[in-house]
Amino acid sequence: MSVADDINGLAALHAAAAHQALNAIIALGPRPADPAAGQAWDRNKADLQAGMNSQSATATELASQAVLAALADQAAAIGQLTGVTARAEAEIKHIQEVSKLLARLAQVLDVGRAVLGVAAAPSAASLKALADAIKALSAAVP
Amino acid sequence: MRSRVALALPLILALGGCTDLAAVSMLSTKLVTASASWDAVGGELKASCERQQQFNPALTSCDTEAAASAGLVALNTVLTQYFTALGDAANTKSFTVQPGIDALAKSAGAIPGINAAEVSATSGLASLLIRLGTEAAREKTLRALIDEGAPLSKQLLTALDRTVPQSLQTALGAERDQMTAAFAIYIQQGGDRMGTDPAAMCAKGPRAADFHAGANFMLALEYCQRVGALQAKLDSVGAYRKSLASAQAALDELASSKTQLGAQALITKLGQIGKDLDTNIKAVAKAFGGGAKP
C-alpha cells in the first residue's frame, strides 16, 4: 500500500459518510406545512447538509492529495523518461544536422564552380551566377 | 579494392534496406492521441471541484485539485513526448541524409571537367554506406527508447491506473451527491419528494404527474440532465482504465519484440492494440472532451 492508496482509502470513507448524509436528507421527505414541524425539518436539513458539505469537501480534497502523492512517488521515473526521450530526439536531430551539412557542402562547391566560371570567362552572367551562389550559401548560414 | 567493393555490395544492399516500422509508427500516433485524451481526464479533478463549489460552500478552494490536474497534464506531456520520439525513431525520414547527398552529387557533377558517371557511382556508394550508418543509429536509438523508456513508461501508466480512477470516482461521486442533495432539498422544500432513488427516477424520466408543483418538476428535469452528464463521466472511467491497459500492452509487445519490430506477428498484435485504444479513447473523449473526436 502506498501513501496515495492510504489517502484514497481515507477519501472513500469521507465520501461514504457524505453519501449516508445524502440518504438521510432524501429520507426527510417533503417539508411539512405545519410551522413547528417545518422548523424541526429545517434544523435537521441544515445539520445534515452542513455535515455532508464538510465530508464531501474533505473527500474531494483528499482525492487530489492522493494524485499529488502518487506523482511525487514517480518523480524519479518521470525525470528518467524525460532524459531517455531527450537523448533519442538529440540523436535524430544529429542525423538531420548531417544532412544539412552535406547540403551546405554542396553550396560551397557551387560557389567554387561559380568562381571557376568567372575566372575562365568573366562576364555579367558568370558574375551573377557567382553572386547567386554566394547568396544561397550565406542564406543557409544561420 | 574495386573487387572488394563489388563483393561487399550485395551485403551492403541487403543490410541497407530500411526495416518497415509502419506498425510502430502507427502505434506511436495512437498513443499520442491517447495521452491527449488523458489530459482531459486529468483536468477533470479541477473541473469537478469547480462545479461542486456551485453546491458546496464548504469547498472554499480548488487549489489542490488544480495542482493535481496540472501534475497529471505534465506527466501526460512526458508520456506524449516519449510516444512521439518512438514514432520519430520508427520513421525512416528522421534517419536519412539522402537529401544532402543528392544535393552534393548534383553540385559535384556540375563542376567542369568532372566525370559525371564517377560522381554518380561514388555518391551512390556513399549513400549506401551512410544509410548503413544511419540505419544502425536508428536501431540504436529505437532500442534505447524501448529498453530504457518502455519500462519507465509502463511504471508511470501503472501509477496512473492505480490512483487516478479511484480519485476521479471519489471526486465525481462527491460532486454528484452534492448536486443531488441540493436539488433534493429544493424539491422537498417545495412540498415534493425526489424519491429514495434519484437515479431510478432519472432513468425512467421525471413525470409531471408525480409533482404537486410545476417548478419542482422543472427542477427534476434539470437535475436529471445534469446528473446524466456526470454519470457518463463516471461510467467512462472504465474506458480510461482500458486505454491505459492498452498502452501498457503495446509497450510490453514492443519490449518483447524489439529485435523484430518489422515482424508480421508484431504488426498484427500492434494493429489490434491500436483498435482497442481507438475504441476506448473515443469513449473517454466523448465523456470528458479533448483528445480524439468521438
CA distance A12 to B166: 9
User: A134-140, long-range: CB within 8 Å, 24+ apart, which pairs?
Assistant: A136/A107, A136/A110, A137/A104, A137/A107, A137/A108, A137/A110, A137/A111, A140/A103, A140/A104, A140/A107
CA distance B148 to A81: 8
Q: For the CA atoms of A11, A12, A15, A19, what is the dihedral angle to 10 degrees?
A: -170
CA distance B221 to A92: 57
Query: pLDDT digits over A103-117, tens only?
Result: 667 777 777 777 777
ipTM above 0.85, yes or no: no
- Three cell numbers at B29? 500516433
Q: Confirm or reject contact between B237 and chain A (CB < 8 A).
A: no
Instruction: Name the residue with higher pLDDT: A61 or B13.
Output: A61
Q: Identify the CA nearest to B261 among candidates B10, B26, B12, B14.
A: B26
Quick check: B248 pLDDT over 80?
A: yes
pLDDT at residue number A130: 80
DSSP-H helix ranges across chain A: 3-27, 35-73, 75-120, 124-140
Q: Which amino acid is at B7?
A: L
Q: Identify the CA nearest to A65 among candidates B45, B59, B74.
A: B45
The per-residue pLDDT of chain B, averaged, comes to: 80
Percent residues over pLDDT 90 in chain B: 34
CA distance B208 to B192: 11
Sole residue written with cell 551539412: A101
Nearest to A29 among B89, B188, B198 (CB): B188
Nearest to B104 among A27, A63, A106 (CB): A106
Hey, is B260 helix, strand or coil? Answer: coil
Instruction: Taking residues A81-96, report their average pLDDT.
Output: 85
- Three cell numbers at A134? 554566394
Question: What is the pLDDT confidence band of residue B224, given thresholds at 50, 70 and 90?
Answer: very high
Cross-chain residue pair A68–B71, CB shorter than 8 Å: yes
Q: Identify the CA nearest to B52 among candidates A16, A25, A55.
A: A55
Q: Confirm or reject contact between B180 and chain A (CB < 8 A).
A: yes
Cβ neighbour number for residue A70 with a 10 Å cutoff:
26
Query: pLDDT digits over B35-89, tens only?
Result: 888 888 999 999 999 999 999 999 999 999 999 999 999 999 999 999 888 888 8
Cross-chain residue pair B144–A31, CB shorter than 8 Å: no
- The count of residues in chain A is 142
- Mutant choice from A19, A81, A126 vs B, greatest count of B C-beta within 10 A: A81
Q: Which amino acid is at B150?
A: A
Q: Identify the CA nearest to B31 among candidates B140, B150, B148.
A: B150
Sole residue written with cell 555518391: B123
The half-sphere exposure of B265 on its side-chain side, counting CA atoms within 13 A, is: 7
Query: pLDDT digits over B86-126, tens only?
Result: 888 877 666 566 666 677 667 766 666 666 666 666 666 66
Instruction: Name the residue with higher pLDDT: B291 or B268.
Output: B268
Q: Using CA of residue A85, residue A86, residue A87, residue A88, what is the dihedral sign?
A: positive
pLDDT at residue number A61: 97
pLDDT at residue number A123: 80
The half-sphere exposure of A58 on its side-chain side, counting CA atoms within 13 A, is: 18
Q: Identify the CA nearest to A7 among candidates A51, A92, A71.
A: A71
Crossing angle for the helix pair A35-73 and A75-120, to the nearest 10 degrees: 50
Q: Confirm or reject contact between B96 and chain A (CB < 8 A).
A: yes
Quick check: B7 pLDDT over 60?
A: no
Please give the residue of chain B at the shortest CA–CA distance from A77. B152
Shortest Cα–Cα distance, B107 to chain A (Å)? 5
Q: Identify the CA nearest to A114 among candidates A102, A125, A101.
A: A125
Partners of residue A21 in chain B, C-beta under 8 Å:
181
Query: pLDDT digits over B148-174, tens only?
Result: 999 999 999 999 999 999 999 999 999
Question: What is the pLDDT confidence band of residue A53, given thresholds at 50, 70 and 90?
Answer: very high
Cross-chain residue pair B107–A109, CB shorter than 8 Å: yes
